[in-house]
Chains A and B, each alone.
Chain A
Amino acid sequence: MAKRVVITGMGVVSPNGVGIPAFLNSLQQGTSGIKFMPHYRELNFSCQVAGMPAFEWSILKDYISEVVLHGLKGTNIGYGLVAALDAWADAGLERETVEPRWDTGCIFGNSVADTEAMKNVITRVDNKEVKKLGSRVVEQAMNSSVTSYISGRLGLANKVMTNSAACATGTQAILMGYEYIKHGYAPRMLVGSAEHVDTYVYGAFDSMRVLSRKFNDEPERASRPMSATAGGFVPGSGAGAMILEDLDVALERGAHIYAEILGGATNSGGQRLGGTMTAANSVGVVRCVTEAIERSGVHTNDIDLISGHLTATNADRQEIQNWVQALGRRGDNFPLINSVKSMIGHSLSAAGSIEAVASVLQIVHGFVHPNINFEDPNPAITDLVSLNNIPTEMIKKEVNIVAKANFGFGDVNSCLILSKYTQ
């Protein structure tokens, strides 16, 4: 029989809060984590704002040995380690182990290995200084670096893998961990994703002209999902992590249960029917959401809140249209909908896991966070969804079921259905 899967621990490194209490407070207050980036201006970026977590590198000494910390350069590895080890501690699990933890796996995603680490390699090799690279480069330049550091620190010894599906990475990692437990292959999985704001990555997006560039003087107003002045997304970064467990195992050890994952789906539009490398195929999106709901055993009317992908680009309107179609709900009957990206920007592969943590916090604490900067609604969106359902202030209310979806380059989709836990 399929197992029920619950969330028993969470950790987050977000532009508007490092650690769950700070992040929760920022979500409730509608606090922006977007700041002006002098370095982007120096580099002649059109977009000169970004969401960079207030991450003190020195805190890592409380997470890893000084020998491991010495020579650690990968920012995404630092973010991932803190989110993952915080989630582990939050779940009430011991950090140290002598034996491999055969009962726990890790699925953690990222989009690129640290490009600062790669730059070091390229520069030294080109300068004929290959002998000076040392032993720590490979482990930080691997695409599986973040997963390897986390699983090594905790001795995780069940399925350990790194997923990568652009903006859908985070929700997909959680979904894959869920499926693995559901089918009985492992009782516990550490899941999540990490991303570092990096000029080499975001320079390429800047060149595509998909980044916000009209609010460089007002960083906190730059990320404007669903608004008429939404002029591109704001670079973000960070990491989100969750501990998923077989419900029976969680109950047996008396774990605190945050919420339950009812189901989900991930697919691709195949870059057909209007889908391209950079645009979602609406048929694929609708199918992904529909399958997620069907597999979760809920009705479309049961969805209280949509945590949208909603990046603040032209794609927002099409996304809303897709939700309307998938749920068969519109106008006043549409669920509440919000975008964490209004506060923290778009953290690419980390977006899904950070936003999923936000979704769970809204279920646990009974609130819907505001969409900040939603001052000038895009009329094409308000034609479909009542303004009342796109809150600009925090709403205190019971939230039972959230649909959390992300849609990424390569025409890939992922949707999770998260629920309040009830016996």
Chain B
Amino acid sequence: MTRQEILDELKIVISPYTTHKDKLAEMNDDTDLLKDLQINSANLVDIIIDAEAKYDIEIDYDSADKMMNVGTCIDVISEKLNEKA
């Protein structure tokens, strides 16, 4: 999967957790989940769980800790998809 494909799908995963739909629409690698999308920090866990289900991957605690902006989210998901492949 390309980074762009993952980003497009990530938008759908993140959507229920942010009311800032304009920021979501224009999100890119630098978009910060907490600061830019105003996601409740507790909800980061839910996004990870949803991503795990969506891609049928397992995201360990250390990897999850890196997922603070869209770019690092895509990094972790790509890495886990490659490990699976």
A: residues with CB less than 8 A from B are: 65-67, 70-71, 131-132, 134-136
Task: Check A132 against B49 for contact (C-beta < 8 Å).
Answer: yes
Task: Give chain B nearest CB distance to A64 CB in angstroms.
Answer: 11
CA distance A70 to B17 in the complex (A): 8
Residue in contact with A135 in the complex, picked from B16, B18, B19, B45, CB distance below 8 Å: B45
Task: Check B42 against A66 for contact (C-beta < 8 Å).
Answer: no
Task: Give chain A nearest CB distance to B56 CB in angstroms.
Answer: 13
Please name all residues of chain B whose beta carbon is closer than 8 Å to the beta carbon of A70 when the two chains form the complex: 16-17
CA distance A134 to B49 in the complex (A): 7
Task: Give chain B nearest CB distance to A120 CB in angstroms.
Answer: 13
Please name all residues of chain A whose beta carbon is closer than 8 Å to the beta carbon of B43 when the two chains form the complex: 67, 135
B 32-68 to A, binary, CB cutoff 8 A, 1 in contact else 0: 0000000010111110010000000000000000000
CA distance A65 to B43 in the complex (A): 14
CA distance A134 to B44 in the complex (A): 9
CA distance A135 to B49 in the complex (A): 10
Chain B residue with Cβ nearest A132: B49
25 CB < 8 A contacts A-B: A65-B19, A66-B16, A66-B19, A67-B16, A67-B17, A67-B18, A67-B19, A67-B40, A67-B43, A70-B16, A70-B17, A71-B16, A71-B46, A131-B49, A132-B49, A134-B45, A134-B46, A134-B49, A135-B40, A135-B42, A135-B43, A135-B44, A135-B45, A135-B46, A136-B46
B interface SS class: helix
Interface residue tally of chain B, by bracket?
10 to 19
Please name all residues of chain A whose beta carbon is closer than 8 Å to the beta carbon of B44 when the two chains form the complex: 135
Please name all residues of chain B whose beta carbon is closer than 8 Å to the beta carbon of A67 when the two chains form the complex: 16-19, 40, 43
Task: Give chain A nearest CB distance to B62 CB in angstroms.
Answer: 14
Task: Give chain A nearest CB distance to B6 CB in angstroms.
Answer: 21
CA distance A138 to B42 in the complex (A): 11
CA distance A4 to B61 in the complex (A): 56
The 9 closest A-B pairs by CB, nearest first: A135-B42, A70-B16, A135-B45, A134-B46, A135-B46, A134-B49, A67-B19, A65-B19, A135-B43
Chain A residue with Cβ nearest B39: A67
Please name all residues of chain A whose beta carbon is closer than 8 Å to the beta carbon of B19 when the two chains form the complex: 65-67
Chain A residue with Cβ nearest B21: A66
Task: Give chain A nearest CB distance to B40 CB in angstroms.
Answer: 7
CA distance A66 to B20 in the complex (A): 11
Task: Give chain B nearest CB distance to A101 CB in angstroms.
Answer: 21
CA distance A71 to B39 in the complex (A): 14
CA distance A70 to B19 in the complex (A): 11
Task: Give chain A nearest CB distance to B9 CB in angstroms.
Answer: 17
Please name all residues of chain A whose beta carbon is closer than 8 Å to the beta carbon of B42 when the two chains form the complex: 135
Task: Give chain B nearest CB distance to A302 CB in angstroms.
Answer: 52
CA distance A143 to B83 in the complex (A): 43
Chain B residue with Cβ nearest A133: B49
CA distance A70 to B42 in the complex (A): 14
